[in-house]
Chains A and B, each alone.
Chain A
């Protein structure tokens, strides 16, 4: 079996007294898309942020996270990113007051050649709008800029948090197409609520429930099992819609999934 690109073992995160992740363990395959699923508030975004070192200062992180053989939790975020861990946050987080070109220029690194050709091949619109302020772009264009910024450098792994959130259906398809092409060259750990996108992209799935791993395995297998999908995500896979409902981000899910923490 090929070595995973990312290994998460017994990851626990407490923030402001809330025990959000409680011993989460999973691996990310060295190719393709691994999707992190779960209802709202189960800790998907917290997991990504813990991996990339962005847990708030009042938070406490325990466990082990390794990318290849390198331990990640002790290192500052900027060093992890320079080491090949790309992160596309929830809600895009482009710098609204800067132009598209300036947003991209920020991601350039000394001593390496920025892959503008790769970015503009995927997102020709960014080239055309390079002098436009990022804050005046549409949601889809901002998402493309957020992804493009990360693709300017070579990465060993991409963490992508809800890239289709709040986008029009046509733009969702475009973003999914781009991620599909990106995943041909770099593995992706994806948090995604849109099951149609998950069905299109994901090879492996990790389902979180109440801060624990409730299920791991083949993503297509999960989506084809309607009863299982409904019990874990609260929505039938055949519906192909957004899953998750009800609870606040950061709070434990009100209906935990089956307590099968196989964690491999």
Chain B
């Protein structure tokens, strides 16, 4: 029984990581129709900025309030990066899908190369609070605190995004824009501001995933963003483009499936099952769990 609980909670930790990356990706695609292959770079920037801040930024450190400051710095760096990418590279290319893909893939490759050139290709130990290295006993299962931290962060981010979408003017614009972007502009709203905002939200969530994911794994590496991005895309497609709640459901399904199959089957079989799940969803419900057929 404790094995089931451990697998469930570590699976949910993985799901939390996927959700943090996928939620922004889903909003960006749902609203702006941008397939952002550079989203993994926001995660990498967040992770490295947190790692750098913990060792160099005054007031920041690997423990206590200093760690919070370091993570806040990482999230700010990822957010800034996302906003700059939207304003400088994506904005001139709206409705030009092929160019968007080329630019974001190129940026992703260049970003990883830059991180490698600056800090090396090998994974580096990530400074993290001592308590995140420990485990908590839950119904007999020894669950890593780093995973629990990810779950708590993902739940808070989900609640914050839903509250933002439900209760703010820009949230309303984003929900409407995911349904019919053209009609939003026909009501006198400059939807481009909402595009920048969803990039900022996505960048912040991905950077947080980078920082807390590095805490969970104990290391930071330039390739981290790219490998997580593949599963984040799968989560977005299964959940439905533009649906944050759909991304949450899909992330849980993918995380648990991966964890259980990898444990009870052979290592790597979980990844194959996730791709099979994607294929089944695409065949039976192409718009995803909670996705809508997009217009305009």
Contacts and interface: CB of A to CB of B under 8 A. Distances in A.
Interface of A: 52, 54, 57, 76-79, 81-82, 87, 89, 93, 95-98, 102, 105-107, 109, 149, 153
22 contacts: A52-B186, A54-B185, A76-B185, A76-B190, A78-B185, A78-B189, A81-B187, A82-B188, A89-B183, A89-B186, A93-B186, A95-B175, A95-B176, A95-B180, A97-B179, A98-B172, A98-B175, A98-B176, A98-B179, A106-B172, A106-B187, A149-B187
A109 B185 CA distance: 13
A87 B182 CA distance: 12
Chain A contact residues, majority secondary structure: loop
B191 interface: yes
B69 to A, nearest CB: 35
Interface string B181-210: 011111111110000000000000000000
A106 B190 contact: no
A95 B296 CA distance: 12
Nearest to B176: A95
Contacts of B292: 97
Contacts of A77: 185-186
Contacts of B183: 89, 93, 95
Report, as a range, how many residues of chain B touch the other chain: 10 to 19
A160 to B, nearest CB: 12
Given A93-B183, A106-B176, 20 more contacts: A52-B186, A54-B185, A76-B190, A77-B185, A78-B189, A78-B191, A79-B190, A81-B185, A81-B186, A81-B187, A95-B180, A97-B175, A98-B175, A102-B172, A106-B172, A106-B184, A107-B188, A109-B188, A149-B187, A153-B188
A163 to B, nearest CB: 15
B53 interface: no
A79 B180 CA distance: 18
Nearest to B292: A97
Nearest to A135: B179
